[in-house]
Amino acid sequence: MAEKLEESKREQRKFGDEEIKVIFRKLSPPEELPKFFPPLAPSVQIEDGILVERDVAVRMRDGTIIYTDIYRPEGAKNVPAIVAWSPYGKNAGWQGQDHKFGMPISTTLMPEGVASPMCKFEGPDPAYWCHHGYAVINPDSRGSGNSEGDMAFWGAVEARDCYDLIEWLATQPWSNGKVTMQGNSWLAVI
């Protein structure tokens, strides 16, 4: 760690009325960055009466492709959709793994074992909602997971991406055109 700090650039910066020493670390090459998200593996399967479409590519208005997992009742048509938009990982079960830095990641504020293995971090549980007639949509936002582009934080780019995904969902053959968003933290802010 000390070697890395030696390679870093140190500067004094003014923030308001205060001078603070800031450390700028060298950027790591992509192959050295931790891998939090599994590679793309598009598939369609049935799990507990739920049709699961993984790694569905959705093109945004600027050509950027984001990837989403779609959970919906098996064989159902005319289904409303619930979107859980975030950069935390669309893959169900990701939240239950130990983080690279040794910190356990909880699903939400629910007791352990309440959410199914299909539940995305802080999102709606497909095991509940699909059995009540809804589709659950878990996208990786722009720049997260395997989605293309640079991540945008709560601004116009992310708003347009949400809009584009919602419009796309409303036209799917299984959809009734009704789409809502659900979640807490980032998922609620967006």
Q: Write down the domain spans for the chain.
A: 2-32, 43-189
Give the Cα separation of 97 and 112 in Å (integer): 13
pLDDT at 101: 37
pLDDT digits (tens, 9 = 90+) for 97-123: 444 333 344 444 556 667 788 888 888
The CATH class of the 43-189 domain is: alpha beta
Amino acid at 11: E
Q: What are the distances in angstroms from CA 181 to CA 13, 187, 190? A: 40, 8, 9
pLDDT at 62: 96
Amino acid at 53: E
Mean pLDDT across 83-89: 88
Report the candidate in 162, 151, 157, 154 with the shortest Cα–Cα distance to residue 186: 154
Q: Give this prediction's pTM.
A: 0.75
- What DSSP state is assigned to residue 44? E
pLDDT at 33: 61
Give the Cα separation of 48 and 34 in Å (integer): 33
Q: For the chain, give the mean pLDDT.
A: 82
Q: How confident is the model at residue 18 (pLDDT cuts 50, 70, 90)?
A: confident
For the ranges 54-68, 124-138, 149-163, the lowest mean pLDDT is seen at 149-163
pLDDT digits (tens, 9 = 90+) for 27-76: 667 666 666 678 899 999 999 999 999 999 999 999 999 999 999 999 99
Residue 82, SS3? strand
